[in-house]
């Protein structure tokens, strides 16, 4: 498994663990350590929560929108 695939799975696991996030509505892409989150969430607070969950994962560089 490549580093980006491992990173993507780690971010997905973190999103699933975070109770305020609905990971089913959030897409994750990893490329060169940069995470891109896509999808729709109901509020800015949930968007921020998803971004913070992704940034908690070790080796994540920036999160792109």
How do residues 15-57 score in pLDDT, each as one tens digit? 988 777 677 889 999 998 889 999 988 888 888 988 898 889 9
**The total number of structural domains that make up the chain:** 1
Determine contact, residues 19/12, Cβ cutoff 8 Å. Answer: no
User: H/E element holding 17?
Assistant: helix 3-17
List of E strands, 1-65: 26-31, 34-39, 63-64
What's the whole-model pTM score?
A: 0.83
Q: Which domain holds residue 44?
A: 3-64
Give the span between the Cα atoms of 43 and 41, in whole angstroms. Answer: 6
Query: Which CATH number goes with the domain that contains 59?
Result: 3.30.1340
């Amino acid at each position: 498994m490549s580093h980006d695939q491992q990173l993507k799975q780690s971010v997905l696991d973190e999103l699933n663990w975070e109770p305020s996030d609905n990971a089913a509505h959030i897409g994750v892409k990893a490329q060169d350590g940069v995470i891109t989150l896509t999808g729709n969430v109901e509020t800015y607070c949930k968007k921020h929560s998803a971004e913070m969950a992704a940034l908690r994962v070790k080796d994540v560089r920036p999160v792109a929108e």
